[in-house]
Copies of this chain bind each other. A is one copy, B any other.
C-alpha cells in the first residue's frame, strides 16, 4: 500500500559520550522514509530543504524507492539545523542550536500523484503543518499515525489537540503522555489521550520498550538490551517508520497486527542507535532484520506448563 510521510529533512550535529559529528543528514522524515523503504516500495515524501542539502541523500532515497516529488528544495535558503549533546545516560540531551530556516514557513505541497495514499505518517513537526497535510488529501487515508513531542505542548497546545483529534494512532514518550494528559499513571493517561481522538496510543519508553493501548487492551514490546547505544537520535522516528511500514506492507490495521508492527518498529530502532545518524539504517540486510525480530521473540517468550 502506498504511504505518505511528512516531516523534517534536515541537518543534525550530534555529540554523544562516544564522539561527535559535523553536520550530518537527520530529521524525522529522513529516518522514517529510510525505515519504511524496507517494507514498501511506495513511500512518498513531503518535506522541505534548502539548496544546501546534499543531492546524494535524495538520490539514496530515490534508489530505495522513495518518491521525492513532494520534497521542496528552496533556492538560496538553508535547511533546518539542530544540534544537541547527549548526557551519559543517553536518555536526556541538551539542545545546543535550533535554526528553523526553511521550516519556518513550510507550506507542504501534496503532489497529485500522492493523492491515492492509504497510509499517512505525520512525523514530528508543527501540528498546524501536520494538519494541513491531512486537509490537502482529498480522501482520508485508511490510517493516520502521528508523532509529536513535548515542545508543541508548550507552544501550540490548541493546534496540537486539534491535530491529535484527527488521527488514528498517536506515538509519544512516557513523559509526554503524562504532560498531555495530566495523569501520572500511564494506564490513566492512555484512557484520557484516547478520549482526545486516537483509538490507538503508543507510549515509547526508550530503553524500557513501548506500550500499545487500544480501548482496554494493552500490549508491551520490550526494547532489546544493547551492549551500547551509540547515538539515540532518530530512534523514535525509525520506530514509527518500521511500525507504519509494516502496517502498509501487510495492509492490516487490527490491534493484533499492530503488535507485530511494534516489534518491527522496535527492531528497526535497535539498529538505528548502533551508529551516528542514519548510517546504520541505510545499509540493513533482510536477514539481519529477521534475526533481530527473532531476538525480540526469544526475549519475552516463556512456556508455562500448567495454566
Residue numbers of A with Cβ under 8 A of B are 88-89, 184-188, 205, 208-209, 211, 218-222, 225-229, 256, 259-260, 263, 290, 293-294, 297, 299-305, 307
Contacts and interface: CB of A to CB of B under 8 A. Distances in A.
Contacts of A297: 304, 307
Contacts of A307: 290, 293-294, 297
B227 A188 contact: yes
Given A208-B205, A263-B302, A303-B256, A225 B218 contact: yes
Given A88-B184, A220-B225, A260-B304, 7 more contacts: A188-B227, A209-B209, A209-B222, A260-B303, A294-B307, A297-B304, A300-B300
8 contacts: A218-B299, A219-B302, A220-B225, A256-B303, A259-B302, A260-B302, A260-B305, A293-B307
A182 B250 CA distance: 44
Contacts of A220: 209, 222, 225, 299-300
Contacts of A211: 225
Nearest to A304: B260
Contacts of A185: 226-229
A222 B301 CA distance: 11
B227 A184 contact: no
Nearest to A259: B302
A131 to B, nearest CB: 30
A186 to B, nearest CB: 6
A121 to B, nearest CB: 21
Contacts of A208: 205, 208-209
A140 to B, nearest CB: 28
A187 to B, nearest CB: 5
A1 B164 CA distance: 55
Contacts of A187: 225-227
Contacts of A205: 208
A91 to B, nearest CB: 11
Contacts of A226: 185, 187
Contacts of A209: 208-209, 220, 222
A225 B228 CA distance: 27
Contacts of A290: 307
A228 B184 CA distance: 9
Contacts of A188: 227-228
Contacts of A303: 256, 259-260
B222 A304 contact: no
A193 to B, nearest CB: 14
A224 B222 CA distance: 13
Across chains A and B, which 8 residue pairs bring their CB atoms closest together, nearest first? A208-B208, A259-B302, A300-B300, A220-B222, A187-B227, A260-B304, A220-B299, A187-B225
Contacts of A301: 259
